[in-house]
Amino acid sequence: MKNFEYFNPVKISFGRGSVNSLGGFLKSEYSKVMLITGGGSVHKNGSYEKVMKNLAKREVVEFSGVEANPDFDTLMKAVELARKEKPDLLLALGGGSVIDGTKFIAGAVFFEEDDPWNILRKGLRIKSALPIVTVLTLPATGSEVNDGAVISRRKTEEKMVFKSPLVFPEFSIIDPDFTVTLPRRQLVNGIIDSFVHVCEQYLTVNTDAPLQYALSESILKTLVERSENILREPPDLDARGMLMWCSSNALNRYIGTGVVQDWTTHMIGHELTALAGMDHAATLAVLLPGVLKYKINEKLEMLVRYAGNVWGISGSDPLETVMQGIEATEKFFSELGAGVTLSEVAVDCSIIDRIVERFEKRRIILGENSDIYPEDVRKILESRCGK
Ligand code: NZQ
Ligand code: ZN
């Protein structure tokens, strides 16, 4: 196992009705709260009303309209508002996009020495941030328990990641009641995003970290075994809660300790979202099987373990076993209703040239062995064109 440091200060209140612990948690010095929401789902799932009730004795400034794949220009409007109103706390109410957007706002408010886009583009560090509390309504990204955010810029068709320990939420409410209104598409996204987060930390090279591998397999198996219940209508709130806890555990960085990670699927996926507007998880369903097949030899040992422990597939020929494991993954995504080729998601393969060109320009090399060059990205994408 590799050496590591692990830090995660996020306090969590989990379960039905846990939103009622919000008021009690908020420090008394947080007298002015800026509530940040998305496009209006919070008014349908009951969360807005309950959060406002918990904020009753505080001054509330609202910013709504953070879109899926939060846009830099929208967030800068919120930054302006926060600079003017000077809230003590940012409260994110929504899915990963609202939470990520809030993390960016929290840091950008104090970032006046340079263009805040350079927090993303050049990886400039934020030196301070407003405190954040989150109330999650869509289990998928794990943003409620981590220090990362992904921000899009429609004007330049870019999508970039930043990380800072200053944007860990202080507290996150994970209340399954708010998932009742989630459409099937977002539930499927949540299952797939969580699944792929685990895979990108687990399916690399063996660093002899059996505890992390067993935890990873448990998350994957729970997602597979409970997917039907998670998607059930009328909603099975125990199963929805299980998805919430799986997605948090998939990216609270715990299973990523002591192992080698490979975020190739995500990095290529962000380009598909930036250029073709695909949902984040939809990009992952197309790409993950392609990345695993392309690096089958390098990942062989862990893929054999994955095929056996997650899918119950074993045999005397490791390559054949592993291929069956990858095919089972693809079938799982398909049966959930996700497209697994570019043609299935109606994206033309002419997009590949633009993506490769971007990776060349940015000199990006991917993979746990730093051996996925832009030309390899081309081959991975070409293998996913479909008919
Ligand atoms: O905008 P509203 O009206 O709230 O509607 C949203 C949005 O349209 C809706 N929604 C959310 N909760 C709902 C609901 N609809 C009905 N009932 C509810 N309870 O769902 C739509 C999608 O929401 P969004 O927040 O965009 O989805 P998700 O949570 O999947 O977040 C995706 C974003 O997170 C980033 C992605 O790249 C993408 O930008 N990620 C963030 C990560 C992180 N911070 O660690 C890691 C991930 O890999 C990912 O990259
Ligand atoms: Zn993801």
| Domains assigned to the chain | 11-179 (3.40.50.1970), 184-382 (1.20.1090.10)
pLDDT value of residue 363? 94
Check pocket membership of 140 for ligand 1, CB cut-off 6 A.
yes
CA 55 to ligand 2 center in whole angstroms? 31
Residue 113 is predicted with a pLDDT of: 87
142 in contact with ligand 1, CB cutoff 6 A: yes
Q: Is 64 in the pocket of ligand 1 (CB under 6 A)?
A: no
User: Nearest bound ligand to CA 194?
Assistant: 2
Q: Which residue's alpha carbon is at the smallest distance from atom 21 of ligand 1?
A: 68
Ligand in closest contact with the CA of 100: 1
Which atom of ligand 1 lies at the shortest distance from residue 66's CA? 1
So what's the pLDDT on residue 387? 79
Closest residue CA from atom 46 of ligand 1: 141
Q: pTM of this prediction?
A: 0.98
Residue 10 identity (one-letter amino acid): V
Residue owning the nearest CA to atom 38 of ligand 1: 69
* CB distance 186 to ligand 1 below 6 Å: yes
Closest residue CA from atom 20 of ligand 1: 186
CA distance 132 to 90: 5
Atom of ligand 1 nearest to the CA of 98: 25
Please work out whether the CB of residue 321 comes within 6 Å of at least one atom of ligand 1.
Answer: no
Pocket test for ligand 1, best of 97, 146, 154 (most atoms within 8 A of CB): 97
- Predicted confidence (pLDDT) per residue in 142-185, tens digit: 999 999 999 999 999 999 999 999 999 999 999 999 999 999 99
Determine if ligand 1 sits within 6 Å of the CB of residue 201.
no
356, 382 in Cβ contact below 8 A? no
pLDDT tens series, the chain, 387 aa: 999 999 999 999 999 999 999 999 999 999 999 999 999 999 999 999 999 999 998 999 999 999 999 999 999 999 999 999 999 999 999 999 999 999 999 999 999 989 999 999 999 999 999 999 999 999 999 999 999 999 999 999 999 999 999 999 999 999 999 999 999 999 999 999 999 999 999 999 999 999 999 999 999 999 999 999 999 999 999 999 999 999 999 999 999 999 999 999 999 999 999 999 999 999 999 999 999 999 999 999 999 999 999 999 999 999 999 999 999 999 999 999 999 999 999 999 999 999 999 999 999 999 999 999 999 999 999 999 997
